[in-house]
Structure 1
Amino acid sequence: MIEAVDRYTEMVRAKSATGALAPGSAEVYVRDVHTFAELAGAGRVLDDLTGEDVDEVLLKFAHKPDGRRSPDASGVPGAAGSVGSDGARLQSASSQARFRRSVSAFFRHAAVAGWVQLNPMSVATLKPKQRGGLRAERRALTTEQAEGLLGAARELVVAPVEVGKRADQRTELRDGLIVLLLAAVGPRVSELTRANGEDFFVNAGMRYWRIFGKGGRTRDVPLPRPVVEVLDAYLAEGRPLLDRGREPKALLLSWRGRRLARGDVQGVIDRVLARVEPERRRSVTPHGLRHTTATHLLAAATDMDAVRRVLGHSDLSTLGRYRDELPGELEAAMRVHPLLGSVRGAEIVEGGVAEAGPVEVE
């Protein structure tokens, strides 16, 4: 099995090098297939694995502690992933589904390459629901929850520096910028951590972020004024405190001066969430903030193609996966119906319609 995993790893990395596969996706595939080999047993023969063997590995992964987050990493009830009997946070349902997709891709390649006679995934019976429970119905934050998170991020950047805090530990501007970029622009976490300072430019008085996305595609996204203000403050004051000259181009740096890793972003979100009032606080992942961006832009009747371009999708149909229903959005849409603007605020009286003053809606 080890030989097959190594050859598959070489193939995936070759695709990444040629631009046929995004580096972040390649990293996930490689990590998951090595985890699969470890859980299945390195000495096993790949072609001997049955559907029952795959089911066993999927269950093992489901109960494998998620090393990226400690049980109390967020301090927020309902954080992604369940907790095991020893208190360790287990894999979330979405992580389990992703792992299953990675394993399926591995065995599809193995079948085409002739490494296995029968693809065991075709007879594996364990599905994501059985392994991790139902995924939460909502990924996107409600308006109130999103405003609470964004408010905490903006308050963080103007908060006075703690007395005695070392300069290289002052990450408030960086943390606030991360949350604002994730919630306002909705980038993939890999796009955020790969960002360089030179990717932000001004055109006709508007600040843009040139995002390098999947498959080598780029998109230029204009930034809202509140985000630009925090970005400018971070570049002028926050980033120089973290700069050690090791990553001269990277936008986001750790306190050691290294480019911020993807796994660090969740910790940043959790720290900002801890500053939100409990009644407006709900745990969210970087991908959940991407859903939040899509949901609220579409709910505000933003052109669907514009939202597609902001998120970096090649197909409009993909937006359906990133949009959650918001409470009261149908009622809000009908209150501002575009075809009834000429009669909005009118009052029905005996014998016809009389103009009334502006109608205040609760």
Structure 2
Amino acid sequence: MPVRPAELDRLTVAEAADRYVELVRARTLTGALSPATAEVYARDVGTLVELAGADVVLDDLTGADVDAILLAFARKPDGRTTAGRSASGTAAKGVGPGQSPSSQARFRRSISALFKHAALAGWVQLNPMTRSAVTAKERGGLRPERRALTREQAQGLIGAARELPQAQTGQNKRRDQRTELRDAVIVLLLTTVGPRVSELVRANVEDFFTNDGVRYWRIFGKGGRTRDVPLPGDVALVLQEYLARGRPDGQDKALLLSWRGRRLARGDVQAVIDRVQRRVDPDQRRTVTPHGLRHTTATHLLADAVDMDAVRRVLGHSDLSTLGRYRDDLPGELEVAMRTHPLLRDRPPT
């Protein structure tokens, strides 16, 4: 069994990549690897350097950093897109703006091999791939394995969103180019209400109303169904502030507008989440998608013993059984459940 060196060699990502690529290419001389395969490894490792940062110390990369790198690679434009277009200018079938699922899986295998070697060579104390929550699926591409944020991660994201209105105050941007309040509304609605991203970008200002002092969002969901969901008080206040001084003036009735006054698209929402995540403490930060925040809402409402039918109505499902797909496991929740067992509360004195 290989023994890991006693001392750690704190190489930068670029230095580690250069050494690893030299070793990979040397294996072509013995016939262990074909030159074409070696060049694929070299190209993927070069992409890792680009996405991680050449001067970052390899051992400083965490599982969350690896998640961010994998998902950033998945969103990189595919170099074959232009070549894959037909004469009419439309993309060829199966060629999209990002990397194909097979390319994503290959990239993950390439950097996994690098980190495995790094752990044995003493370049890292712990292989960060073992802490990664992103898995590769040939048909579906890279997906977060655990989609719901933990309570600490979700609270870190919510805290960063709450601070955005104060950050806007000190900005030197023109008023019509400031998006901090809008970004705060996006993150708070996704994290606390859990709408589908399509429901969020379709929302109009007129869909929000007040009844008996409570702010509601009338959400237009699948199959033409609507649901009125009350907003948490803090979220309602940020929404009101956005409508009063953060939303650009324009003819569009959409709730969420770009600074140019156009309705946001689904892809814009992920960019907003990523931007807010960069303000979160690294110990609480984890890459997440809009759908992952929907899972987060369901998971934590159910974990806090909120009535299942109420959660179903918040999420807009017609059947309680569907909630099972949105309920993710949380670390330590079984221990908490048994520690606060309902049959052992308020025991009569012995």
- TM tier, smaller: 0.5 to 0.7
How many residue pairs get matched?
Answer: 238
Output the CA distance in 1 between the equivalents of 2:258 and 2:72.
28
> Which amino acid in 1 is paired with 2:223?
G
Q: Structure 1 135/171 Cα, relative in aligned 2: closer, same or farther at 3 Å?
A: closer
Q: Map residues 184-333 of structure 1 onto 2, 5 A cutoff.
A: 184-239=192-247, 242-245=248-251, 247=252, 249-333=253-337
Report the Cα offset of residue 260 of structure 1. 1.1
Q: Structure 1 92/315 Cα, relative in aligned 2: closer, same or farther at 3 Å?
A: farther
Q: Map residues 93-132 of structure 1 onto 2, 5 A cutoff.
A: 129-131=137-139
Stretches of structure 2 lacking an aligned partner (at least 5 in a row): 1-49, 53-63, 79-97, 106-135
2:204/2:254 contact within 8 Å kept: yes
Report the Cα offset of residue 169 of structure 1. 1.3
TM-score scaled by structure 2? 0.62
Q: Deviations over 1:297-338 (max 9, x none)?
A: 010011111111100011111111111100111121223222
SS across alignment from 2:279: coil
Q: Structure 1 203/71 Cα, relative in aligned 2: closer, same or farther at 3 Å?
A: farther
For residue 90 of structure 1, what is the aligned residue in structure 2?
A: 99
Q: 2:163 aligns with which of 137, 142, 155?
A: 155
For residue 67 of structure 1, what is the aligned residue in structure 2?
A: none
Q: 2:67 aligns with which of 62, 74, 78?
A: 78
Report the Cα offset of residue 197 of structure 1. 1.0
> Which amino acid in 2 is paired with 1:216?
G
> Which amino acid in 2 is paired with 1:244?
G
Stretches of structure 1 lacking an aligned partner (at least 5 in a row): 1-69, 97-127, 347-352, 354-362
SS across alignment from 2:73: coil
TM-score scaled by structure 1? 0.60
Q: Does 1:172 align with 2:176?
A: no
Please tell me the root mean square deviation across aligned C-alpha atoms, in Å. 2.7
Report the Cα offset of residue 132 of structure 1. 5.2
Q: Deviations over 1:47-100 (max 9, x none)?
A: xxxxxxxxxxxxxxxxxxxxxxx968xx9641364738x98662569x99xxxx
1:291/1:322 contact within 8 Å kept: yes
Q: Deviations over 1:184-235 (max 9, x none)?
A: 0000001001111111111222111100000100001111011011011101
